[in-house]
Structure 1
């Protein structure tokens, strides 16, 4: 078994697709109109084992969770094999890092927030 996807609640499908594909460089895997909603799956690369399902909120409670699904903590981890190159690319694309890259016992990391307020680690494991 492996974790195939997680759901990320976003305010608008098309804005989220644009941000994650154009700014972060993710791949749009699926965009299927189901009539009442869309099944949208993105991933960091076409061959990634784990993707993200983008979902518009269906309730007011879900709307309030946008940008706070991790309760203010970093909860999404974007692994890279070349931290310096990806940090430079993301910065040039407009990603605002909350800190300078730092070394930890497990690797090199820097925190950023996506356009919806979710906190991420860009991380290259040692």
Structure 2
């Protein structure tokens, strides 16, 4: 068993694609029109055949209260691994990304949390060597 696809709910797929590609550095993988929306996925350029992240439309009525509750409680919807949280924090803040939690050493890892401009909080994590 393996993870092939996971998703984040986004308010606007095209704006989300711009943020996830132009700011975060992911690569567009699939863009298949389905009615008014698309099956729109991105992948890490470090693993182009790896798991896909679906930029899923947030139109379902359960999404808004779910995401609002997570954001209100400061809970990230997703977590992305990076080699150096401090470096990503500096790069992303330089591009105008707003962080709700700066780089924080939690013992075994360093984490930070940012607003993806699409309705979600995303956590960055860099695990420390054992």
Give the structure-2-normalised TM-score: 0.80
Does the CA contact (< 8 Å) of 1:31 and 1:41 recur in 2?
yes
Spell out the pairing of 1:92-103 with structure 2 (5 A cutoff). Answer: 92-103=94-105
Instruction: Identify unmatched segments of 5+ residues in structure 2.
Output: none
Tell me how far apart the structure 1 counterparts of residues 32 and 114 of structure 2 sit (CA, whole Å): 29
The aligned counterpart of 1:84 is 86
Give me the whole-angstrom Cα distance separating, in 1, the residues matched to 2:90 and 2:8: 25
For 1:31 and 1:102, the matched residues in 2 are separated by 36
- Cα deviation for residue 69 of structure 1 reads 7.8
CA distance in 1, matches of 2:61, 2:94: 35
The Cα shift of 1:12 comes to 1.6
2:104–2:111 contact (8 Å) kept in structure 1? yes
Could you say if the C-alpha distance between residues 28 and 105 of structure 1 is closer, same or farther in structure 2, counting changes exceeding 3 Å?
same
Residue 53 of structure 1: aligned partner: 54
Q: Is the 8 A contact 2:10 2:119 kept in 1?
A: no
Superposed CA RMSD in Å reads 2.3
CA contact (8 A) 2:12 2:118 kept: no
Task: State which drifts further: 49-58 or 76-85.
Answer: 49-58
CA distance in 1, matches of 2:77, 2:33: 28
